[in-house]
Structure 1
C-alpha cells in the first residue's frame, strides 16, 4: 500500500478580503483563526490572502495563508470551528440566519504588517479598490502589497 502526501503547488493567485476592524484585531491577536463567509472564494489551500480592515482603519493590515476551506450547514460548521471564530454562538447564528451553507476559511501563517497600506495608497499606488467581500489578485499585486506592509 502506498502512502499519499499532500503537495502544495505554488499559488497562481491571491485573495484580497475585507474584514471588519474588530475581527481584524482578533485575527492579529490570535483569538480568531477562521474567517467565516456565506460564500467563499474558489481557491486552493495555500493561497495567500491580503487582510483589508474595512472599518475605522480602511487599510490593508497584513496577510495570511488560506488553509483548507470547510463547507457545511451552519450547525455542523459551528461544531467544527466555533471556538476559532472569535464569535459567540448567538453572533454566529445571526450571521448565518437563513443560510443553508456556511464556509470557514482557516487562516495560517498570519502576519500583521509593520505598516498599513491606506485606502488612498491602495488606490493610488496599487490601483485597487477594497472589495465588499473579497476579490482575486495576481501574484505580482500580492507581492507588492506584501512588501509594502512588511517595510519598516
Structure 2
C-alpha cells in the first residue's frame, strides 16, 4: 500500500538526496501495510517529486525519538522541539531507497481532486 505525504520542499529535497533518513509526523497511518510513501513537495514547488520505501516507523516520546534519530534527522533540534511541543508521542518514518522522479508530476495526476492532504492520503 502507498500513501501520499505533503512535505515541505527543503525536506523533500533532503530525503531525495539521501541526507534525511526520517520523516517526522505528529500522527501516523491508521492502516497497516504501508510500504511506500509518494512525496508531494508543497508550495512553491507544488509537484509530486518522488517516493521512498518505508523501512519501519518509530513511535515514542519525543525526547527518546530525538535520541534515536538525531544523527540522520535532517532537521535541527530546535525545529524538532517546536514541532513536537506539547505532544506525548512522536513518529518517525524510516526512509529507505528514496527515488526522485525524472519528471515531477501535478498532484491531479496522482489523486483525482488534486487537493494536497494535510497529513497523508492513502493511494
For structure 2, the 5+ residue unaligned runs are: none
Give the aligned partner of residue 10 of structure 1: none
Give the aligned partner of residue 28 of structure 1: 16
Which structure is richer in relative contact order (CA contacts within 8 A, separation 6 or more)?
Answer: 2
TM-score normalized by the length of structure 2: 0.91
Q: Which has the higher strand share?
A: 2
Query: Does residue 136 of structure 1 match 2:115?
Result: no
**Which stretches of structure 1, 4 residues or more, deviate above 6 A after TM superposition?**
none
Q: Which segment drifts farther, 25-34 or 102-111?
A: 25-34
For structure 1, the 5+ residue unaligned runs are: 1-12, 138-152
Greater Cα radius of gyration, structure 1 or 2 = 1
Given candidates 40, 49, 63, the residue that maps to 2:37 is: 49
Given candidates 4, 7, 31, the residue that maps to 1:19 is: 7
TM-score normalized by the length of structure 1: 0.74
Query: 1:93 and 1:99, CA in 2 relative to 1: closer, same or farther beyond 3 A?
Result: same
When the two structures are aligned, how many residues end up with a matched partner? 122
